[in-house]
Amino acid sequence: MSNQYSSIDHTSMPQTALVTGASRGIGRAIAEALAQKGYRLYLTCQHSEQELTKLSHHLSEISHTVCTPIIANMGDYREVSRVFAQISNLTLLVNNAGISHIGLLHEMSVEEWQTVMNVNLNSLFYTCRMAVPMMLQRHTGKIINISSVWGNIGASMEVAYSASKGGVNAFTKALAKELAPSNIQVNAIACGVIDTNMNRCFSPEELADLQAEIPSDRIGHPEEVAELLLSLVDAPSYLTGQIITLDGGWT
Helix crossing, 222-233 with 25-36: angle to 10°? Answer: 50
First to last CA, the chain: 45
- Give which of 47, 159, 165 is closest to 113, Cα–Cα: 159
| Alpha carbon distance 57, 15 (integer Å) | 19
Residue from 42, 77, 161, 238 carrying the catalytic annotation? 161
161 is catalytic: yes
115: buried, middle or exposed (CB in 10 Å: 19+, 13-18, 0-12)?
Answer: middle
| Beta sheet of 141-148, edge-to-edge order | 67-71, 40-45, 16-19, 92-95, 141-148, 184-191, 243-246
Active site residues: 161
